[in-house]
Amino acid sequence: MTNLKSLLAACGLSALIGLAATPSLAGSTTYPLTLENCGAEVTFKKAPERAIGLGQNSAEILLLLGLQDKMVGTAFWPSKVLPQLAEANAKVKLLTVEMPTFESMLAENPDFVAAALPSLVGPNSKVAKREDFDKVGVTTYLSPSTCLSTKDVKDQYGSRAELWNMDLLYREIDELSQIFDVADRGQALIADFKAREAKLRGSVAKDSQKLSYVFWFSSPSPSADAYVGGKNGASGFIADLLGGRNAITADAEWPTIGWEGIIASNPDVIVVASLDRNRWELDKPEAKIKFLNTDPAVSQIPAVKNKALVVMDGQAMNPTIRTIYGAEQVAEQMKALGLLK
């Protein structure tokens, strides 16, 4: 238990330290455990022993729950692991920072795969479908935050009719902690995030200006459409948390919008993502900011002219544990710029 305490202290998750010594506080899991997960019923006869965190959010939740000794691999990392989790993560095999192959995962003989995105295990996944894992006896769990309908938006990420909120993240943490019989750690982690969310929402003065935001994830090139955070995704949640709104009104989770459309949205603030994956030049925040300041048309957006440009961890634009970290990053920079009270 000493190692867990050290990890929690390093994460700044003080609420979990006391619980780490008293695992009976939240009760033990009774197996078999059956959960409804994104339209599928999944049953666990016992806690997994050989888990794969497929996607950064899933991997980081498992690490925050102190489960690195139960993990045989991770894959698909837009950003580097949280610094406070680096030591624990170093004990787990990295399959790839991009999408892994189905065969590379099966080579690790997993008994459980926790997936962050439908593009990783959904019906149109390029990796594998849930039924592919079912056929080889591997149970899967898909993040409730990304379990979206693709009926109205014909892409793999789907659309969201209501604003995402942290309750879906709390459900994910709670269910994963039940699956692994570490419910005490899950509840303490949830309590910590709830406290941080409340503190951040309470830190924004009631008379602060209601600002509009565009959250720019990346683009293949300056001439290409931009991947931006949709109205009701994590980006919209961050804007709402800071007393503002998302200037992008598309219901799609990740709409691609031309710069004419972004100019027309007339944002007060542009949040640019910092990504470690280096897939495109515009994954880098400095490349984004250079484009914003030098393009003849884009440079005339009020946010650019007023230097209301802030940098945020790109993974925080996904509905993940990183979202609250990202909101804290934005709030700190906005206050330094005098845009938030």
pTM attached to this predicted model: 0.88
Q: State what percent of residues in the chain have pLDDT above 70.
A: 89
Question: Do both 211 and 144 map to the same domain?
Answer: no
Same domain, 228 and 326: yes
At 149 the pLDDT is: 63
Could you tell me if 187 and 213 lie in one domain? Answer: no
Mean pLDDT of the chain: 90
Report d(CA 113, CA 95) in Å as an integer. 13
- Spatial separation of the C-alpha atoms in residues 339 and 341, rounded to whole Å: 7
User: Structurally, how many domains does the chain consist of?
Assistant: 2
In the listed set 176, 196, 216, which residue is the last one of a domain according to the structure?
196
Where the chain has pLDDT below 70, the residues are 1-26, 149-156, 158, 207
Please, are residues 314 and 273 in contact by the beta-carbon 8 Å criterion?
yes
Q: Do 185 and 63 form a contact (C-beta atoms < 8 A)?
A: no
Whole-angstrom Cα distance, residue 237 to residue 298? 25
User: Is residue 89 situated within a structural domain?
Assistant: yes
* Domain co-membership, 38 together with 170: yes
Return the pLDDT at 19.
41
Whether residues 267 and 189 fall in one domain: no
- Whether a cis peptide bond, with omega within 30° of 0, leads into 296 is no
Please, are residues 275 and 211 in contact by the beta-carbon 8 Å criterion?
no
Using the 3D structure, point to which of 196, 227, 252 is the last residue of a domain: 196
Residue from 266, 283, 264, 286 nearest 275 by CA: 283
What φ, ψ does residue 133 adopt, rounded to 5°?
-70, -40
226 plus 329 within the same structural domain = yes
Domain that holds residue 299: 206-336
Residue 206's pLDDT is 75
Residue 205, pLDDT score: 75
**What's the rounded Cα separation, in Å, for the pair 252 and 28?**
39
Domain boundary among 163, 196, 229: 196
The reported pLDDT for the residue numbered 332 is 96
Residue 201 belongs to some domain of the structure: no
Whether residue 341 is contained in a domain is answered as no
